[in-house]
Amino acid sequence: MTRAAATTAAGRSSLKLRPGKIAVFLILIISALTTLFPLLFLFVNSFKDQGAIVAEPMALPRSWSAAYVSDAMRQIHFGQAVFITAGITVLSVALIVFCASMLSWMLVRNDSPASRIVLLGLTAAMLVPFQSVMYPLIHEFETLGLKNLPGLILMYGGFGLGMSVFLYHGFFRGVPLALEEAALIDGSGILGLFFKVVFPLVKPITVTVIILNSLWIWNDYLLPFLVLGNAEYKTLTLELYYAKMLSGQFSNPWELIFPAVLVSIIPIIVLYLFLQKYFIKGVTEGAVK
């Protein structure tokens, strides 16, 4: 490589092309390709029939017919399922943000042994395996007439609370009391104080709470399975599971599974590519506490 070329390649980033750096970049590229491999594999095999998938899993499809994809979309009621999953996710996360932020604020502002015990209880809930509450929970909600979509949203609200309160609590401790006092002197009511003054201050951690909760709620399988089961309205993951079960209880119809998985992950990938700044920031903020 000529000197001039090296200079351009290094470019404005002021990178110096040392062997160490090249090696690191090579490793990073290989790792990235490895990471992408299952997704590329999934993509390629979403356009093949069962025979071709099994015989030559690594080959490109002979023709890029969208037949399997559109078939899969029909089978998993794609539009409806995305709408329901998105609805559940948005409402659950809104519930979590609303409850967790006010609860944490109150816990911080009313610091006492009792409030610390409450915080400890909420934090410890992060360690509770779902299996140890699942049967009684379903039983209880059934009794309350809530074994349905609204009930599911409430359940997510409850399960998401532990981690979210933990995150908010750490953040609220850093909000100076003086700010709130000033707002109160200006004649603000408690709700005005909370929504106009306090809530905007903790926006970064709200992003975290939204991202982290959305991720697991969107992909969750067991809770919708137990609550909704084979109901008419199913979430995306549940549709996928039933499509696999019904089309071949005793086999793997890959020509259905692969395109179905592919279309089911596309919405979240698109969202991620547009909002990735917030995703990364969300995870980072969550970790600093």
Considering only residues 268 through 287, tell me which ones interact with other proteins, judged by CB under 8 A: 268-269, 272-273, 276, 279-280, 283-284, 287
For other proteins, the binding residue among 1, 4, 19, 136 (CB under 8 A) is 136
Evaluated on CA atoms 207, 212, 215, 218, the torsion sign reads: negative
Q: How far apart are CA 215 and CA 279, in angstroms?
A: 10
Instruction: Report the alpha-carbon distance of residue 266 to residue 43 in Å, rounded.
Output: 11
Angle (CA) 199 200 202, round 5° = 70
Residue 225 Cβ vs other proteins, minimum distance, rounded to whole Å? 8
> Residue 258 has which token pair?
């692969």
State in angstroms the smallest separation of the CB of 173 from other proteins: 14
238: nearest Cα among 253, 226, 247: 226
Q: Is 21 in the site for other proteins (CB under 8 A)?
A: yes
- CB nearer to other proteins: pick between 2 and 249: 249
Residues 26-85, interacting with other proteins (CB under 8 A): 27-28, 31-32, 35-36, 38-39, 41-42, 54, 57-58
Which position among 142, 173, 182, 186 is part of the footprint of other proteins (CB under 8 A)?
142
Nearer to other proteins, 87 or 102 (CB): 102
Binding to other proteins (CB under 8 A): which residues in 80-109? Answer: 95, 98-100, 102-103, 105-107, 109
For other proteins, the closer of residues 8 and 249 by Cβ is: 249
Q: What is the largest CA-CA distance in the chain?
A: 77
d(CA 204, CA 161): 17
Binding of other proteins at residue 229 (CB under 8 A)?
yes
Taking CB under 8 A as the criterion, the residue among 143, 176, 187, 200 binding other proteins is 143
Options 1-9, 59-67, 129-137, 201-209: segment touching other proteins (CB under 8 A): 129-137
Piece of the chain touching other proteins by CB under 8 A; list 1-9, 64-72, 200-208, 224-232: 224-232
**153 lies in the site for other proteins, by CB under 8 A:** no
Rg from Cα positions in the chain: 24
Q: How far is the CB of 174 from other proteins (least distance, A)?
A: 16
Inter-CA distances, 61 with 4, 39, 40, 156, Å: 43, 15, 12, 41
Alpha helices in the chain (DSSP H): 3-10, 19-45, 50-55, 67-75, 78-109, 113-124, 131-143, 149-172, 177-185, 190-192, 199-201, 203-219, 222-227, 236-247, 254-288
